[in-house]
Amino acid sequence: MNDNIYKIAIAGFMHDIGKFAERANMPINKEFEIGNADLYQPHRNNRYTHRHALYTAAFIDSFEKILPKEFNRANWGLEDSFINLASGHHVPETPLQWIIAMADRVSSGFERDEFEDYNQEIGVRDYKKTRLIPIFEGIDPDRGEKADSLDSYHFRYPLKELSPSPENLFPKNEDALRSLDNEQASREYNELFNKFIAELEKLLHRYQSIPLWFEHLDSLFMIFASYIPAATVGKVIPNVSLYDHSKATAALASALYLYHFQTDSMKKEKITDYEEKKFLIVSGDFYGIQSFIFSAGGSTNKAAARLLRGRSFAISLISELAADLICREIGLPPTCSIILNAAGKFTIMAPNTDKVRRQIEAVEKEINDWLIKNFYGESTIGLAWIEASFSDFSSKRIEGLWDSLAKELEKKKYSKIDLERYGGAVRDYLDQFNNELSSKLCPFCGKRPSDKQIENDPLVRDDNNRSACKICRDHIYLGTKLVKSPKVAIVSHDAEIYGDKLSEPIFGKYQVSFDVEGKLNELAKKGKLLKYWDLSISKDGKITKEIAAKFINGYVPVWSEEDQTEETLIRILHGRKSEKTKNELFDAIKEGAIKEFLYLAKMSINVKVEYQEKGETKTCGIEALGVLKADVDNLGLIFTCGLKNNSISHLATLSRQMNNYFAIYLPYLLSKEEKFRDIYTIFGGGDDLFLIGPWNRIIDFTQFLNQSFRQYVCQNKHITISAGLSIHKPSDPVPLLAETAEDALKKAKHNGRDSITLFDETVKWKSFEKLNSEVKEKIESWLDKSYINNAMLFRLNLLSEMAKQKKELIDGDKKQAKEVANIGVALEDCECLKWPAMFKYNLVRNIGKKLQDSARNEAIAQVDEAALWLDEYGGAMKIPLWQVIYNQRRLKQ
């Protein structure tokens, strides 16, 4: 990739960095200001406007020593100097400056006739005091955004670094953020800016590789500029971050430059043409994610946790690298040209030329050749694209543009596999088996032949197995390393690295290693180090700043000193076990090792802090796993119809902020909150969530999930989630876990969304919160006070089923009512109508039998409330009842 494209991309990315500097009161040399105002600032009505453009130039000039030396080298790339490219977008003179200027305007969603207003800087308000408004608050798919008035918005983000802490990540409805004084507002900007400069100086690879440094800069700017509003003047709602606007501008500028370069039309009149279809918006989707992660057919559940962790990470990695490969083949900088990327989906801004179309088609074949070879058609990546002009990105037309792209991608689902290219038998499949291996078929996936190269690999070897295929070995490698080594290097397949690495490079081009730190600079200079990421978030919530941070790792519970408690020991040893089994259990407990599913199930056992006469600990509950699958409702509709004043920058901000909740906040929460730290992230990102953990803690977490998500999206009733929960034995096959949780989620979606399914009962979140808190707690208190016994719990369970049948019989839909009227109701179907009488009978006969007089009357009066619950919730009463029953179940020692 040549220097020109990176010069354009980084100039576009840094074009508005002067807004940060200006609001922070960065000092400017007076001579510099006098000598450069005419170069970078429009001049109208006897005054200079758009002072931030001058500050962009001053920033580049003042901090040249901590920026790549190429920025001030006359012979780097194109004839325009870097400082002029980045700073001249309000007074463009050369074709290249016009490319940055047009990208800036289109990124903001401006119409052609809004150009004059754009350069006249109207209505300057208290720009330093203005804080970023969360894009979630204004979303309404029915009516579009709220009125263009700041007074109608109540939430603001504090001006802080990006952090997983709710104090930084969540919007606040606080008067203090809406009414800052100038002194405090300036001080906050100044403190943030000084921290940014200090970290900018520490960025790695400044001298070795511009592409790598740019990716690190992108990450650093995301941390510091995610809560800086891009626009604080004019008739705009400041709900787009400076980071997202800068990145979108860089993407548009890169594609625009390449288009005019390849079409030999680098002239102002061609660059400013608003109707020419200059862009290809390319969208990619990873098909078969569930089959990929929960691959069925293996004969062993060994290493299940590591394997799932590795497969989940591999999904993100393959999606990232597929987008990266497309950009590299086209000649675009992946750092900025991949404008959206989460949950197996990505979107790339590309130039609309015949050459680029051929390159995209060739890369799609190359990617799927590799996927078909290794996954036999269960997983593929589909690419779809549409043409776009400047006008299509305007706020009035971008909704239709994005809708068209979604439809093209939907069409692609029906042709996931090119049957002409891949159809028919896999002719060499049987020839790949080696009869000399201990297991000819991979025992982990049950699909691919075991590979001789992997035989006796320490990652797959145990007492019962020595074999695996390359892919499963690599997934176990990824799952093992992720919890031990936070930094990962992506290098070219031919890079000279030693130690553990993938046995099957991704697409045959990308090698992955967690152990190349000593060779980084050498690999970077040679162009062999393609990416270097830190996947971790520290326990105190700090995100790495010296290299690119990637939030694609999730949270995995591992054994630590905090687990060395008596309660943990009791849970592990519970039940009848041979000495051999006990030794095996303890052998698996090593500090830093992943907790396997058997142990997660054991963490659901309740240990009572009381002892029986013989000194035995009292335990109760069931050993089981809870599986949660959740996602955001109607996200596509929110993206296309939820915003009135939309732009590519708005879409980028919305996508990233939604992803932040699932990919940054939730993994951090699970690691910090003691009651949730045994919950395992299988997948979390975009708008999707897949978790496994102790069954009772998963249920409590699910209630917390809904409450915190509502808080994160400003209590907007139009943005909701649905969830499905299933309960399993730890020995159940992994694909079964996924299938039942997915079925539960579908039931929740079919309930009008904004719902949850648990124990095969579906309710709205409001009902679930009452059932899971108030109702469950009262039932538990009745047990503790001896108002009811276990037998009564089972009677209530029977009555709940009868109440459900009564609802279906009496309150069914009109079709059912008509059928009942025509053919009548069978006598046995009317049994359910007796539940109120049966409840009263049990209430008087069985409640508080050990209590006397007034105490018993009080017990009857309290338990009588259950009749109201049965009538209101019917079968959904299983949600609290089954939890109480399972948690109270006495366990055999």
Q: Which of 305, 312, 302 is nearest to 443 (CA)?
A: 302
How far apart CA 417 and CA 441 sit, in angstroms, is 25
Q: Are residues 495 and 381 in the same domain?
A: no
**CA pseudo-torsion sign 538, 543, 546, 548:** positive
Of the pLDDT bands very low, low, confident and very high (cuts 50, 70, 90), residue 612 is very low
Asked whether residue 277 falls in the same domain as residue 394, the answer is yes
Question: What is the per-residue pLDDT for 140?
Answer: 83
What pLDDT band is residue 849 in, cutting at 50, 70 and 90?
A: confident
Q: Does residue 369 sit in the same domain as residue 479?
A: no
Interatomic CA distance for residues 613 and 112, integer angstroms = 85
Lowest mean pLDDT among 222-236, 286-300, 351-365, 550-564: 286-300
Please give the residue that has the higher pLDDT: either 501 or 596: 501
Among 54-68, 280-294, 635-649, 676-690, the least confident range: 635-649
Report if residue 192 sits inside a domain. Answer: no
Give the residue carrying structure tokens 């007034």. Answer: 854
pLDDT top residue among 102 and 849: 102
The mean per-residue pLDDT over the stretch 124-136 comes to 82
pLDDT digits (tens, 9 = 90+) for 518-538: 788 889 999 999 999 999 888
Q: Confirm whether 598 is domain-assigned.
A: no
Say yes or no to pLDDT of 5 above 90: yes
Structure tokens at 725: 């929960």
Of 532, 549, 566, at which residue does a domain stop? 549
Q: Are residues 275 and 299 in the same domain?
A: yes
- In whole angstroms, give the CA distance from residue 772 to residue 792: 19
Say if 521 falls within a structural domain.
yes
Q: Grade residue 304 by pLDDT with cuts at 50, 70 and 90.
A: confident
Which pLDDT belongs to residue 117? 53
330 pLDDT band, cuts 50/70/90, is very high
Q: 815 pLDDT band (50/70/90 cuts)?
A: very low
Same domain, residue pair 375 and 469 = no
pLDDT at residue 116, rounded to an integer: 52
pLDDT digits (tens, 9 = 90+) for 467-498: 999 999 999 999 989 888 889 999 999 998 88
| Per-residue pLDDT, 419 | 85
Q: For residue 327, give the 3-state DSSP assignment.
A: helix
Q: What is the pLDDT of residue 367?
A: 96
Sorting pLDDT into bands at 50, 70 and 90, what band is 812?
low
Indicate whether 400 and 444 sit together in one domain: no
pLDDT tens by residue, 86-118: 999 999 999 999 999 999 999 987 655 555 555
Q: Are residues 510 and 446 in the same domain?
A: yes
Helix (H, G, I), strand (E, B) or coil at 47: strand
Of 365, 393, 422, the residue that ends a domain is 422
Domain end: 499, 525, 549, which one? 549
Amino acid (one-letter) located at 866? A
Q: Which of 148-157, 283-292, 347-356, 554-563 has the highest mean pLDDT?
A: 347-356
Token reading at 295: 């691959």
Q: Three-state SS across 176-242?
A: HHHCCCHHHHHHHHHHHHHHHHHHHCCCCCCCCCHHHHHHHHHHHHHHHHCCCECCCECCCCCCCEH
Same domain, 802 and 864: yes
Q: Answer yes or no: do 353 and 490 share one domain.
A: no
Measured in Å, how far apart are the chain's first and last C-alpha atoms?
67
**630 vs 748: CA distance, rounded Å:** 10
For residue 88, the model assigns a pLDDT of 94
Lowest mean pLDDT among 122-131, 446-455, 633-642, 774-783: 122-131
* Cross-strand pairs, 488: 533
pLDDT for 177-224, tens place per residue?
777 788 888 999 999 999 999 999 999 999 999 999 999 999 999 999
Contact in structure between 59 and 21 (CB atoms under 8 Å): yes
Angle at 322 between CA 627 and CA 469, to 5 degrees: 65
Give me the number of domains the chain comprises.
Answer: 3
- Cβ(328)–Cβ(258) under 8 Å? no
Note whether 319 and 416 are same-domain residues: yes
In a domain, 473, yes or no: yes
Please report the pLDDT score of residue 617 as a whole number: 66
CATH of the domain at 327: 3.30.70
Question: Considering the domain boundaries, does residue 639 fall inside one?
Answer: no
Q: Specify whether 484 is located in the same domain as 410.
A: no
Same structural domain, 276 and 418: yes
Q: Give the pLDDT of residue 113.
A: 54
Judge whether 567 lies within some domain.
no
Q: Is residue 460 part of a domain?
A: yes
pTM of this prediction exceeds 0.75? yes
**Residue 238 included in any domain:** no
What whole-number distance in Å separates Cα of residue 809 and Cα of residue 813?
9
Sign, CA dihedral 684-314-386-103, equals positive
pLDDT beyond 90 at 676: yes
> Range of 804's domain?
777-888
Report the C-alpha gap between 30 and 34 in whole angstroms. Answer: 6
Tokens of residue 263, six digits: 């079409």
Which stretches of 539-624 are assigned E, i.e. beta strand? Answer: 548-549, 606-611, 617-620
